[in-house]
Amino acid sequence: MNTIILASHGELSQGLKQTAEMILGPADNIYALSAYRDEDEPIEGQMQQLVTKLGTKNLFILTDILGGSVNNEMLPLLKDNPEIHLITGMNLPLVISIATQAGKISSNDLQRIIIESQNSLIDCSRLLQTSEKGGDDL
């Protein structure tokens, strides 16, 4: 089973976990950490404790934004644990796709999942305008 840790600024990660569970049902393989709230411990410490508890096998850490402090604070984990997958720009399709994979996700499959998740970002206004004009060019 693949394990996912969602890490974000504010409560985005909790909301994403809750929404994923609305679709998937209770998910004991998804964890959520929030930074810069009123927590007693910085997110780096929370993450290190969780990684120690869970182990690094089939572990995916998803963060909210590239270059953001949460993602930057996760980067040192990769130095000692190169088997961890750190992916930024998390969204619901990404979480669901990783959470529903039965076994280990190959590098090629992970790239496919990431591309599919990126492709789920659609300007629906433009899509509707294009379809009303009879065009198929997005």
pLDDT at 137: 55
How big is the CA angle at 68 (ends 120 and 113), to the nearest 5 degrees? 30
Give the ranges where 60-132 is alpha helix by DSSP (H): 69-80, 92-99, 107-119, 124-132
Q: Flag whether pLDDT at 138 surpasses 60.
A: no
Q: What is the pLDDT of residues 5-32, one digit of tens each?
A: 999 999 999 999 999 999 999 999 999 9
Helix (H, G, I), strand (E, B) or coil at 2: coil
Alpha-carbon distance of 127 to 113, in angstroms, equals 23
The answer to whether 47 touches 61, Cβ cutoff 8 Å, is: yes
Q: What is the pLDDT of residues 65-78, one digit of tens each?
A: 999 999 999 999 99
Q: What is the pLDDT of residues 57-114, one digit of tens each?
A: 999 999 999 999 999 999 999 999 999 999 999 999 999 999 999 899 999 999 999 9
- Burial class from Cβ neighbours inside 10 Å (0-12, 13-18, 19+) for residue 28 reads exposed
pLDDT at 86: 98
